[in-house]
Amino acid sequence: MKHRLLLLYSWLVKTVLFFFPDIPLIMRFRGFLYSLGMPSCGSNFQVAHNVTLNSIEGLTVGNNVYLAMGNIIYAHGKAIIGNNVMFGPDCLLTTGNHTFWDGSYRYGVSVEKEVRIKDGCWIAAHCVVLPGAVLPARSVLAAGAVLTMHLQELCEDAIYTGIPAKFIKKRI
């Protein structure tokens, strides 16, 4: 029941504030409204228009997080977004995946894995973050990349790109 109420609540926040401009005050207000259904949310959570947050009861957000327009986050499992993280437009983050059962993916059991975006990351436009993925601290996920797995902690301050995302170079 709580899940359904939070889905309805997320839809109401998105619908009621859809036509308001993306200025910091309004985006912080959207973030505040979404944070009421989350287990934990830091200060200055900014959400642009047309962002879809499903299953916010599984989403934990740090301080100074920005979600650009068109982002979709399905936090059916557990998704942890660290401090000072920025998502570019039209990104997808999901914690769940389908399994094959009885000749189809349609009726397979949903498998959920935790997703973690560490502090100081920038996820550029049109990126996809899949279940079980961990983006190391202060890293950049280049535009259009698909993050499919846990990237080693030794690769902090790095740039990742491609499908699937691979280490390109140190950022500093």
| Model pLDDT for residues 157-169, shown as the tens digit of each residue | 899 999 988 888 8
| Segments in the chain below pLDDT 70 | 1, 151-154
Which residue ranges make up each domain of the chain? 2-97+107-170
Give the pLDDT of residue 52. 93
Give the pLDDT of residue 153. 55
Please give the angle made by the CA atoms of 156, 162 and 163, to the nearest 5 degrees.
115
Q: What are the φ and ψ backbone dihedral angles of 42, each rounded to 5 degrees? A: -75, -175
Give the pLDDT of residue 1. 55
Tell me the pTM: 0.89
Give the pLDDT of residue 106. 84
Give the pLDDT of residue 169. 86
3-class secondary structure, 73: strand
Class of domain 2-97+107-170: mainly beta
